């Protein structure tokens, strides 16, 4: 049985008690302590974990990870909360937000259930930072005429910005998206302002985490687009997009989806987009992700017994210059040990012989060298040594070639 540690108190006129909400700031911002209560002028406060909250800032889970009373509200109470919120920010039946309501600051609000901002015309800057959306949230067909901020917000259920129009910047830093998020635009839209709706001018999503699907299809990114340090648990969808030259993606280790059948297609679209803007590094990364997804979504033979497997392990599909060199050193040590242990060659000479197979490959087939080795070893050992030395030369040449190709790819012009 869930234990509720919550009281609802009417403390009208009680100076000591005020909503304790403190805004979480960006790392480079300074916290300004204030004696004022939060932005909402609410008389009824709710006690959770020994602290008072207004209904808008009250969390739905307490410190013991138990549901608070707000977390157990039924649909009727959630609807009343939503009505109260729309009333206090001044959105009425005309679905317009002008910033002239009682409150124009939405920071830190915990929306306890489904919330619907569809078709709302946001005519003033909107700040949803530090908000928590517990249920599904809908911004479908909404218009943001000014800047919109969702920094540090959490979206627990699916979130929809489908066909949304963003006239200015969109800040989405440090967000946590636990289900799908949809920024798609449809070309079948019957809006008169189709061209404006398709465009996203600047978008900053750095440091956000996307656990579910993320869709950005058919958007034209006309300005700086920042996904640095983002984590994508499923491959993001950018079908039909036009990306800006100033687009930044996280390192490819932050793309965790490399085994689903759709991932291969989505990474291919991103690779082609990066090719269009001549971004060699990201193009290489998405090529590696594309190939890895193709390999891991195939059968056992393609997964582990294919050239693709060797290419990935040796040079991350041509994106790593150093990895082939490190593997080359490992092989050099391995073969040195073999010559020393199995052919009774002095250790220093074994290392020297091993290096020789790298810098002067296939010398064991050189007539002078063969004559010299033939005198030292019996026929069977001589043949085995030649085979192993040849194998080392082949592997070494392949690794050196992979390293040169990776460097060539990275610095290629045109
Ligand atoms: Zn509050």
Ligand 1 center–CA 167 separation, angstroms: 30
- List, for the chain, all residue ranges whose pLDDT scores fall below the cut of 70: 1-17, 25-36, 414
Structure tokens at 43: 């008389």
Q: Compute the C-alpha angle 375/378/380, nearest 5°.
A: 135
Ligand 1 center–CA 134 separation, angstroms: 17
Ligand 1 center–CA 56 separation, angstroms: 6
Ligand 1 center–CA 12 separation, angstroms: 15
Dump the DSSP string for 1-59.
-PPP-EEEEE-TT-TT------PPPPTTSPP---SS--SS--SEEEEETTEEE-TTT--
CA-closest candidate to residue 147, choices 86, 104, 208 = 104
Structure tokens at 412: 């290629």
Ligand 1 center–CA 77 separation, angstroms: 18
What gap in Å lies between CA 187 and CA 366, rounded to an integer?
68
Hey, where are the domains in the chain? 1-67, 73-250, 322-410
What gap in Å lies between CA 301 and CA 396, rounded to an integer?
25
Cβ distance 284 to 318 under 8 Å?
yes
Ligand 1 center–CA 46 separation, angstroms: 10
Task: Determine the pLDDT at residue 135.
Answer: 96
What gap in Å lies between CA 93 and CA 104, rounded to an integer?
18
CA-closest candidate to residue 110, choices 209, 21, 32, 171 = 21
Ligand 1 center–CA 61 separation, angstroms: 16
Structure tokens at 29: 């911002």
| pLDDT tens-digit readout, 207-226 | 999 999 999 999 999 999 99
What gap in Å lies between CA 244 and CA 194, rounded to an integer?
19
Dump the DSSP string for 206-217.
TT-EE-S-EE-T
Instruction: Give the global pTM.
Output: 0.83
Task: Determine the pLDDT at residue 10.
Answer: 38
What's the full length of the chain, in residues? Answer: 414
Ligand 1 center–CA 162 separation, angstroms: 30
Ligand 1 center–CA 79 separation, angstroms: 19
What gap in Å lies between CA 211 and CA 346, rounded to an integer?
57
Ligand 1 center–CA 102 separation, angstroms: 14
Task: Determine the pLDDT at residue 5.
Answer: 36
Instruction: Name beta bridge partners: 144.
Output: 122, 166
Ligand 1 center–CA 60 separation, angstroms: 14
CA-closest candidate to residue 109, choices 49, 142, 152, 80 = 152
Name the pairing type of β-strands 44-48 and 51-53.
antiparallel
Phi-psi region of 136 (alpha: psi -120 to 50; beta: other; left: phi over 0): beta
What gap in Å lies between CA 98 and CA 125, rounded to an integer?
9
Task: Determine the pLDDT at residue 322.
Answer: 94
Ligand 1 center–CA 55 separation, angstroms: 7
Ligand 1 center–CA 157 separation, angstroms: 23
Task: Determine the pLDDT at residue 30.
Answer: 61
Ligand 1 center–CA 138 separation, angstroms: 23
Ligand 1 center–CA 133 separation, angstroms: 16
CA-closest candidate to residue 105, choices 84, 120, 90 = 90
| pLDDT tens-digit readout, 287-338 | 999 999 999 988 888 888 888 899 999 999 999 999 999 999 999 999 999 9
Give the CA radius of gyration of the chain.
31
Ligand 1 center–CA 6 separation, angstroms: 16
């Amino acid at each position: 049985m869930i234990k509720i540690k919550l009281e609802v108190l009417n403390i009208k006129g009680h100076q000591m008690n005020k909503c304790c909400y403190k805004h979480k700031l960006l790392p480079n911002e300074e916290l300004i302590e204030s004696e004022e209560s939060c932005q909402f002028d609410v008389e009824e406060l709710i006690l959770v974990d020994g602290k008072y909250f207004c209904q808008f800032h009250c969390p739905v889970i307490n410190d013991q990870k138990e549901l608070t009373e707000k977390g157990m509200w039924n649909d009727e109470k959630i609807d009343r909360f939503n009505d109260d919120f729309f009333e206090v920010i001044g959105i009425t039946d005309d679905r317009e937000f002008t910033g002239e309501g009682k409150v124009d600051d939405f920071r830190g609000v915990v929306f306890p259930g489904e919330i619907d901002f569809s078709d709302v015309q946001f005519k003033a800057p909107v700040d949803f930072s530090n908000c928590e959306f517990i249920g599904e949230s809908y911004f479908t067909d909404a218009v943001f005429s000014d800047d919109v901020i969702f920094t540090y917000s959490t979206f627990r259920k699916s979130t929809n910005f489908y066909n949304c129009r963003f006239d200015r910047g969109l800040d989405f830093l440090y967000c946590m998206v636990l289900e799908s998020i949809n920024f798609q635009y449809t070309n079948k839209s019957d809006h008169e302002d189709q061209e404006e709706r398709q465009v996203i001018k600047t978008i900053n999503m750095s440091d956000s985490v996307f656990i579910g699907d993320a869709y950005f299809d058919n958007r034209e990114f006309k300005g700086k687009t920042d996904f640095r340090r983002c984590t994508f648990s499923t491959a993001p969808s950018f079908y039909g997009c036009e990306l800006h030259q100033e687009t930044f993606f996280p390192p490819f280790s932050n793309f965790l989806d490399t085994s689903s059948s759709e991932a291969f297609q989505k990474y291919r679209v991103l690779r082609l987009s990066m090719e269009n803007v001549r971004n060699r590094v990201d193009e290489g990364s998405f090529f590696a992700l594309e190939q890895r997804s193709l390999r891991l979504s195939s059968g056992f033979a393609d997964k582990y017994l294919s050239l693709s497997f060797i290419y990935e392990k040796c040079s991350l599909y041509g994106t790593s210059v150093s990895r082939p060199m490190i593997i080359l050193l490992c092989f050099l040590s391995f073969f040195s040990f073999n010559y020393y242990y199995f052919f009774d060659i002095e250790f220093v000479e074994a290392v020297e012989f091993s290096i020789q197979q790298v810098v002067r490959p296939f010398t064991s087939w050189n007539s002078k060298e063969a004559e010299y080795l033939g005198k030292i070893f019996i026929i069977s050992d001589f043949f085995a040594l030649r085979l192993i030395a040849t194998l080392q030369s082949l592997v070494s040449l392949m690794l050196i070639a992979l390293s040169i190709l990776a460097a060539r790819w990275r610095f290629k012009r045109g």
